[in-house]
Amino acid sequence: MHASPSPRFDTIISAGALAALRHGHPRDVLILDCSFELAAPHAGRRAYDRAHLPGAHFVDVEHVLSKKGRPDQGRHPLPDAGTLAGQLENLGATDDMQIVVYDRSAGMFAARAWWLLRWLGHRAVAVLDGGFDAWQAAGLPTTTGMASPPARGTLSPRPGDMPTIERTELLTHVRAGTAIVLDARSPDRFRGENETIDPVAGHIPGARSRYFQDNLDARGHFKPAEQLAEELGALLDGSRPVVSQCGSGITACHNILALEIAGLPGAALYPGSWSEWCAHPDLPVAVGT
């Protein structure tokens, strides 16, 4: 008798469902720890070393989920697709594998990994809902041991369904009012207050504030799909294309994930986001609401 195929998750997965998947199909699941802190780049690795999900491999936001770029390209340019695929293959990723990503920051970095894998064309990737805290709260085991070196996988980059938009095209939309731009940064940074990360305060003219934390409930889990659809749908008009941006293209992916959960797919990521936009003095800047 053949074992039943493991279920596939392509947005979020609960701690209980992941535990069951690992128990029933351990070789079919790859878990990636994406823990990171913007103000302390090495903190994520230290947190992983203290405790992580059994079998999880650590992936660094700045060295795997981003690449180094010029200052005018933003703080976290997208990695090269082939390079990223090779790094994931070294962790055992294969085309038919369920991949689960998590962090300790409300999914803000895990969502970037989710988006990148979908960008590569890998649909069976999900964010652990509630992250490391939810796993612990469920009483599930953690470990300090390094994951065993995996057999190298084969991950074939394929055109995915995750569109991007570049600065010049976005500027055309901004001037014409032909796109809805959602800004995932905190409301105060959107308004141009308390900017401590980028050299210029403010936002892209015409953008609408949708703080990524507003996608979550009080426990740090994603809100139900119906609630997200109501809240996010109120910011859209159903006709204009949607562009998601933030400070450097990280938390913008959280809003894209929330839109997917809500049944509102298709938003384009502006990878350079505000950190690229404000590096070009010729581009317009707005402040306030």
Distances (CA, A) of 124 to 12, 118, 202: 10, 8, 37
Catalytic residue among 34, 246, 253, 278: 246
Contacts with 271 (C-beta within 8 Å, 6 or more apart), sequence order: 74, 76, 77, 78, 164, 249
Distance from C-alpha of 264 to C-alpha of 240, rounded to nearest angstrom: 13
pLDDT of the chain, 289 residues: tens digit per residue: 334 456 699 999 999 999 999 988 778 999 999 999 988 989 999 999 999 999 999 999 999 999 998 889 999 999 999 999 999 999 999 999 999 999 999 999 999 999 999 999 999 999 999 999 999 999 999 999 887 878 899 999 887 789 999 999 999 999 999 999 999 999 999 999 999 999 999 999 999 999 999 999 999 999 999 999 999 999 999 899 999 999 999 999 999 999 999 999 999 999 999 999 999 999 999 999 8
Distance from C-alpha of 267 to C-alpha of 24, rounded to nearest angstrom: 34
3-state per-residue secondary structure call for the chain: CCCCCCCCCCCEECHHHHHHHHHHCHHHEEEEECCCCCCCCCHHHHHHHHCECCCCEECCCCCCCCCCCCHHHCCCCCCCHHHHHHHHHHCCCCCCCEEEEECCCCCCCHHHHHHHHHHCCCCCEEEECCHHHHHHHCCCCCECCCCCCCCCCCCCCCCCCCCECCHHHHHHHHHHCCCEEEECCCHHHHHCCCCCCCCCCCECCCCEECCHHHHECCCCCECCHHHHHHHHHCCCCCCCCEEEECCCCCCHHHHHHHHHHCCCCCCEECCCHHHHHCCCCCCCCECCC
The residues that bridge with 102 in the sheet, in sequence order, are 33
The residues that bridge with 127 in the sheet, in sequence order, are 12, 101
Closest CA to 276 of 172, 228, 204, 191: 204
Is 34 part of the annotated catalytic residue set? no
**Cβ atoms of residues 243 and 165 within 8 Å:** yes
Domains delineated in the chain: 12-137 (3.40.250.10), 167-277 (3.40.250.10)
Q: Would you state the pLDDT for residue 7?
A: 65
Question: How much of the chain, in percent, has pLDDT values that exceed 70?
Answer: 98
Q: How far is CA 277 from the centre of its chain?
A: 20
The tokens 């823990």 sit on which residue? 35
Q: Would you state the pLDDT for residue 149?
A: 77
Q: What is the pLDDT of residues 171-204, one digit of tens each?
A: 999 999 999 999 999 999 999 999 999 999 999 9
**Cβ atoms of residues 33 and 53 within 8 Å:** yes
Q: Would you state the pLDDT for residue 279?
A: 96
Q: Would you state the pLDDT for residue 2?
A: 38
